[in-house]
């Protein structure tokens, strides 16, 4: 599997899937969320790589990408270096949860990389506040962080289950995913804890309001975090 080490010492694991003749094709970049890795997009890759260049990347501390402690801006700058070195610009950004927040931070530094955005269960601010009634209660985020110390890696599996509805968890596909995930490398504990701090602290609503590229929001019917009201609010934030 291709990997590339950027200037801060992060060894990025990535994969570019594309048709045989792909010189003039548009590029789609998929970023996963907290606690999973780029393989969560395997069905999307299979479909879109017939007509596009499709790049999937493991975020630092997830999958096969190494970990270096830094803030979200630091990660974003390293990601920009990766994108430019493998010549994957400009691209359509598809970000799930944390992956969408990551893309917004990248946009705040280098907007010209992007053709359009697709946010999947993602938002520019994940922590609730008095003037922002969406996302996660801060106490819940901190509780999850505490559980990493006492119940790791089982808490990662609990989080994975939470991505699916009860009906989906009873399906054959979910059981296959569970079997597939048993072979996964568990994300690094320091990375998971650091990303929870990022989810609590980051507020990129002002960045979302500046995006000039087309934006699409996708959320699950039973998504309790990025619910229908949240998506409506996000649409109102867009220019």
- Average pLDDT for 135-161: 69
Kindly state the percentage of the chain with pLDDT values over 70: 83
Closest of 4, 229, 215, 17 to residue 128, by C-alpha: 229
Q: Which of 65-74, 159-168, 202-211, 213-222 has the lowest mean pLDDT?
A: 159-168
- What's the CATH number for 3-237? 3.40.50.1820
Count CB neighbours of 60 within 10 A.
28
Q: How far is the CA of 133 from the CAs of 104, 120, 121, 143, 232, in angstroms?
A: 20, 19, 16, 19, 13
Helix (H, G, I), strand (E, B), or coil: what is residue 144? helix
Cα(22)–Cα(55) distance, integer angstroms: 13
Burial of 201 (0-12, 13-18, 19+ CB in 10 A): middle
Helix (H, G, I), strand (E, B), or coil: what is residue 20? coil
pLDDT value at residue 20: 82
Taking each continuous run of H as one helix and of E as one strand, the counts in the chain are 10, 7
Where does residue 196 fall: left (phi above 0), alpha (psi -120 to 50 degrees), or beta otherwise? alpha
CB 136, CB 197: distance < 8 Å: no
pLDDT tens, position by position, 160-203: 555 556 666 666 665 655 554 555 555 688 898 899 899 999 99
CB 68, CB 10: distance < 8 Å: yes
């Amino acid at each position: 599997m291709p990997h590339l080490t950027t200037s801060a010492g992060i060894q990025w694991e990535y994969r570019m899937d594309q048709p045989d003749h792909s010189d003039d094709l548009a590029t789609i970049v998929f970023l996963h969320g907290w606690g999973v890795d780029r393989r969560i997009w395997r069905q999307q890759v299979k479909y879109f790589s017939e007509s596009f260049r499709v790049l999937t990347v493991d975020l630092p501390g997830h999958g096969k990408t190494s970990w270096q402690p830094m803030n979200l801006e630091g990660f974003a700058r390293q990601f920009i270096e990766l994108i430019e070195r493998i010549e994957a610009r400009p691209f359509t950004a598809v970000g799930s949860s944390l992956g969408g927040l990551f893309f917004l931070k990248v946009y705040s530094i280098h907007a010209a990389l992007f053709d359009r955005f697709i946010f999947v269960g993602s938002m520019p601010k994940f922590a609730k506040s008095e003037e922002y009634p969406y996302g996660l209660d801060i106490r819940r985020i901190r509780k999850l962080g505490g559980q990493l110390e006492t119940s790791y890696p089982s808490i990662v599996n609990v989080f994975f289950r939470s991505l699916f509805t009860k009906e989906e968890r009873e399906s054959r596909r979910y059981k296959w995913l569970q079997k597939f995930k048993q072979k996964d490398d568990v994300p690094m504990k320091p990375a998971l804890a650091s990303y929870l701090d990022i989810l609590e602290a980051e507020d990129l609503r002002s960045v979302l309001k500046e995006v000039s590229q087309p934006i699409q929001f996708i959320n699950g019917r039973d998504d309790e975090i990025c619910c229908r009201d949240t998506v409506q609010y996000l649409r109102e934030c867009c220019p």
